[in-house]
Structure 1
Amino acid sequence: MGAAGLRAFCLGFNAAVEEFPFGDEVSVFKVAGKIFALSWLDGSPLRVNLKCEPEQAIRLRADHPAIVPGYHMNKRHWNTVTVGELPPRLVRELVEDSYDLVVAGLPRAVRLSLDRP
């Protein structure tokens, strides 16, 4: 998965938007105003910060050298994933898990308004 694929995948989630609060080079993907992914899409290698449950974050870091504590993020809840060093399916699952975690933390009325199956 390349930068264009990562961007398209992140924007494919219901109500997902891309913003640039940290400058033009950092894409921040949000749902209902909350970040679920952050990436330097022009970076080499391509990396993305993703939210993760703390216990799973520890397991993923132990199992995959391409997954490390989140750069400039709360290390307990965020991982930095080097995209090209992992199978695309795993990267997609990690992005989806991040989105789902953020949505689960939204108020009920907001979750219902997303109309996500």
Structure 2
Amino acid sequence: MYVEELREYCLAKGNMVSEELPFGPDTLVFKIAGKVFLLIGLDQVENMSFNVKCDPEYAIELREKYQHTVLPGYHMNKKHWNTVFLGRELNTTQLKELIDHSFDLVKLSLPKNIRDTI
């Protein structure tokens, strides 16, 4: 999976998804209704990775199973966020599942009236 494919996948999640550069030109952030569900550093060339939200127990399970690919979230709350490296142990389907998991967690945290419009 490459940055452009990841970007297209995130944006295809609906009209409530936005992409922004709030931390400068090197960090692309995807939000649903204003809440972050994925961040990716655009300045990474050889070790491309992204941060996604994760259920705390599932995060531990993933980190243990994929020690070289899934790490505690870099510059994030390490209980709820993982850094996931591309091109290592996970295939594209598995990467998309982690993106979906993050999207769904953030969506569930939104007020019901906003969730119902997504």
Indicate if the aligned counterparts of 1:3 and 1:42 stay in contact, CA closer than 8 A: no
Gaps of at least 5 residues in structure 1 are none
Instruction: Report how far residue 97 of structure 1 moved.
Output: 0.5
CA distance in 1, matches of 2:22, 2:91: 29
Q: Indicate yes or no: 2:19 matched with 1:18.
A: yes
Residue of structure 2 in register with 1:3 after alignment: 3
Tell me the distance in 2 between the aligned counterparts of 1:26 and 1:95.
Answer: 17
1:38-89 CA distance string (max 9 Å, x none) = 0013412110000000000000000002000000000000000001112111
Query: Is the partner of 2:87 in helix, strand or coil?
Result: helix
Q: Which amino acid aligns with 1:7?
A: R
TM value normalised by structure 2: 0.93
Which has a greater percent of helix?
1
Alignment of 1:1-117 (within 5 A): 1-14=1-14, 15-44=16-45, 45-65=47-67, 66-85=69-88, 86-114=90-118
Q: Give the partner amino acid of 2:65.
A: D
How far apart in 2 are the matches of 1:93 and 1:42?
24
Cα-Cα RMSD: 0.8
Runs of 4+, deviation exceeding 3 Å: none
Letter paired with 2:74:
Y
**TM-score (ref. length: structure 1):** 0.94
Aligned length: 114
